[in-house]
Chains A and B, each alone.
Chain A
Amino acid sequence: MQHAPTADAAHVTNTGIDNRKLLMWLFLASECLFFGGMIGTYLLYRNSSVTPPYPTDRVIDGVAYSGLFDIPFTSVSAFVLLMSSVTMVLALAAIQRNDRRGLQIWLAATALLGMTFLAGQAFEFTEFHKEGLSVNTNLFGTSFFVLTGFHGAHVSVGVLILVALWVMARRGRITSENALNVELAGLYWHFVDVVWIVIFTLVYLLQ
């Protein structure tokens, strides 16, 4: 028996991949270059600032400057975002076996972890600003805030998508038949996570 195609049913394509999924991966591939450009810019300019504050401890002309980075705090933030990827993939696994209750729980957990990460970033930005770093203070400030700010914006969009999915799940509008909606949101969320994996290493840990 053949099923009539519905709005959510996948369709036959010449690639064998649902077009929405293909488009999401194309988008993510382009995002690699988006973030790659900004990470490259940060690496280029991070040691070019002629005025403090600086990212790490350093002595210039006999004057000692304390670095701004708080590695233990950022490590916790990175861990929180990493665990949100685990809860996201558990949400997908739940709906693929038609466990709607599990989907709601794991989506809510992912959104909450994402909000926790954003709160941590807001705290970090505030602390840096108190120390005299703004987007136009020096090259470090400009490249750092642009890079991490754009990442934070991506996380914010991800949280909005997750909350929207959670509301849809609460209303029973997500089933195993249209689990692709959750998978697409998951792809975006995991990508935001892997970008932070790179930022955490190249920006915070590499001195």
Chain B
Amino acid sequence: MLELLTFVLAADGKAFFENPAYLLGIPLIAVGALGVLLAMSPIELKWPQPAPAEEEYEIFDHPADGHPDAAEYVKVGLILAVITGIEVAIYYVDALGDTLLPILLVLSALKFVLVILWFMHLRFDNRLLTVMFTTGMVLVVALFVVVLSTLGASLV
């Protein structure tokens, strides 16, 4: 037991708070455990409710008012195509040097957000869906930070 504790607290000769895997990993495990406990507990979560339906069997997934029309989808598609063109064009610009990485990441994130918000309707749908998907994305970023920082890799 003492050996295990020693191993956990000082893996690879690093102090506990010097190890990114512990700094980020343990809080994530704690959040996960909290989620499991919450799911098993009798606590009932109340999510934001939509406006009261006029009919008992109102269909929630009818195209909501304010959803984009076909023309707006085509406009977003054109913007995505232009951004892809810019990404490929700047890939061949040697003068950009180290600035290429942040530019590509920003353009990629822009495309990602456009598809999520417009094509997948997160901009217009229930906020609970946004919370769920954002949670997944936050966990991915945490995973990247833990894995890449712990194992010493970098993007460049």
B91 within 8 A of A: yes
Determine, out of B3-11, B14-22, B35-43, B69-77, the stretch whose residues face the partner at the interface.
Answer: B69-77
Measured between beta carbons, the chain B residues less than 8 angstroms from A96 are 62-63, 67
B12 within 8 A of A: no
Q: Would A85 and B108 count as touching, CB distance under 8 A?
A: no
Q: B92 — nearest CB in chain A belongs to which residue?
A: A71
In the complex, chain B residues 97-125 whose Cβ is within 8 Å of any chain A Cβ: 101, 104-105, 107-108, 111-112, 115-116, 118-121, 125
The distance in angstroms between the C-alpha atoms of A96 and B40, with both chains bound, is 39
Q: B135 — nearest CB in chain A belongs to which residue?
A: A29
Beyond A29-B133, A43-B155, A79-B84, whether A93 also contacts B70 by CB under 8 A is: yes
Query: Count of A residues near B, CB < 8 Å?
Result: 65
Q: A3 — nearest CB in chain B belongs to which residue?
A: B57
Instruction: Give the interface residue-count category, chain B.
Output: 35 or more
B26 within 8 A of A: no
Q: Would B119 and A190 count as touching, CB distance under 8 A?
A: yes
Q: Would A44 and B47 count as touching, CB distance under 8 A?
A: no
Nearest CB of chain B from residue A18's CB, rounded to whole Å: 5
B31 within 8 A of A: no
The distance in angstroms between the C-alpha atoms of A89 and B47, with both chains bound, is 28
B59 within 8 A of A: yes
Measured between beta carbons, the chain B residues less than 8 angstroms from A97 are 63
Determine, out of A33-41, A117-125, A130-138, A146-154, the stretch whose residues face the partner at the interface.
Answer: A33-41
Q: Would B136 and A32 count as touching, CB distance under 8 A?
A: yes
B81 within 8 A of A: yes
The distance in angstroms between the C-alpha atoms of A40 and B135, with both chains bound, is 18
Q: Would A22 and B129 count as touching, CB distance under 8 A?
A: yes
Q: Would A89 and B119 count as touching, CB distance under 8 A?
A: yes
In the complex, chain A residues 57-98 whose Cβ is within 8 Å of any chain B Cβ: 71-72, 75, 78-79, 82-83, 85-86, 88-90, 93-94, 96-97
Beyond A37-B143, A206-B101, whether A89 also contacts B55 by CB under 8 A is: no
B128 within 8 A of A: yes
Q: Would A82 and B77 count as touching, CB distance under 8 A?
A: yes
Measured between beta carbons, the chain B residues less than 8 angstroms from A32 are 133, 136-137, 139-140
Q: Would B84 and A82 count as touching, CB distance under 8 A?
A: yes
Measured between beta carbons, the chain A residues less than 8 angstroms from B128 are 15-17, 22
A167 within 8 A of B: no
Nearest CB of chain B from residue A179's CB, rounded to whole Å: 7
Nearest CB of chain B from residue A107's CB, rounded to whole Å: 15
Question: Taking beta carbons and an 8 Å cutoff, which residues of B are in contact with A?
Answer: 46-50, 53, 55-63, 67-70, 73-74, 76-77, 80-81, 84, 87-88, 91, 101, 104-105, 107-108, 111-112, 115-116, 118-121, 125-126, 128-129, 132-133, 135-137, 139-140, 143-144, 147-148, 151, 153, 155-156
Question: Taking beta carbons and an 8 Å cutoff, which residues of A are in contact with B?
Answer: 1-5, 9-18, 21-22, 25-26, 28-33, 36-37, 39-41, 43-44, 71-72, 75, 78-79, 82-83, 85-86, 88-90, 93-94, 96-97, 177, 179-180, 183, 186-187, 190-191, 193-194, 197-198, 200-202, 205-206
Known contacts A86-B74, A200-B108; 19 further A-B pairs (Cβ under 8 A): A5-B57, A9-B59, A10-B58, A14-B46, A16-B49, A17-B126, A22-B129, A36-B139, A43-B144, A43-B153, A75-B88, A88-B119, A90-B74, A186-B120, A194-B111, A197-B111, A201-B104, A202-B155, A205-B87
